[in-house]
Structure 1
C-alpha cells in the first residue's frame, strides 16, 4: 500500500505516461542520428583522454520515420481548418 491514497484516475494517468515515455524512448533508439542522409564523422582526440567522438554514416529517415508523417492526425487538420494555427504564430 502506498503512503498516500491517490485517486485511481491519477494513478492510471501516471502509468500511461510512463508507458508512453518508455515506448517513445524505444522508438527513438531505432532512428538514425540524422533525418537526412549524411556521412559519418570522427572527432579529434581530446586532451588527457583517448576518447574520440564519432558517428557512423546516416541513411536518413525513411518515409514512415519522417517528422511530417508523425502527429498529422485529424486533430491537427482541424486546427488548420479553423485558422488558429497561423494566428498562434503571429506576434503581438
Structure 2
C-alpha cells in the first residue's frame, strides 16, 4: 500500500480551498438577502435593555452581484466534486492494492496447504 497520500488529491484539495476563499470573500460584502426585504426590529431585554435580533432592510443583490455569486458558487461546487472524485479514486486504488495483497496471501496459503497435504501422504 502507498505510505503517503498522493499529490494530485492534495492539489485538488488546495484548489477547493482557493475556490471556497474566492467565493466567501465577496459573499461577506453582499446584502443579507438576495431579494429586497424589509427589516424588522429586535427585541429589548426587559432587565438589561439590550436589543437582540432584528435586521436592517436588505436592498437585495444587484444583477452584477447575483451573476458573480452564481459564477463563484458554481466554481466552488465544481471544485468540491473534483475533490470528492480525487479522494474516491485514491480510495479505489488503495482498495485494489489491498485486494491484490489479500489474493496473493490466499494463493500462498493454498500453495502451503497443498505442499503440506503432499508431505503427509
Q: Same fold judged by TM-score > 0.5?
A: yes
List alignment gaps of at least 5 residues for structure 2. 75-121
- TM-score w.r.t. length of structure 1: 0.57
Structure 1: runs of 5 or more not aligned: 74-92
> Does structure 1 conserve the Cα–Cα contact (< 8 Å) formed by 2:39 and 2:56?
yes
1:28 aligns with 2:41: no
- Specify which structure has the bigger relative contact order, considering alpha-carbon pairs within 8 angstroms and separated by 6 or more residues: 2
User: Matches of 2:47 and 2:22 in 1, distance apart?
Assistant: 38
In 1, Cα distance between the equivalents of 2:47 and 2:14? Answer: 44
SS in 2 for 1:25: helix
TM-score (norm 2): 0.45
User: Which residues of 2 match residues 1-92 of structure 1 at below 5 A?
Assistant: 5-46=4-45, 50-66=50-66, 70-71=70-71
After TM superposition, give the deviation of residue 6 of structure 1 in Å.
1.6
What's the CA shift for 1:56?
1.7
Give, in angstroms, the shift of residue 43 of structure 1. Answer: 2.1
**Partner SS, residue 59 of structure 2:** coil
Distance 1:59 1:39, change over 3 A: same
Count of matched residue pairs = 68
- Calculate the aligned-residue CA RMSD, in Å: 2.7
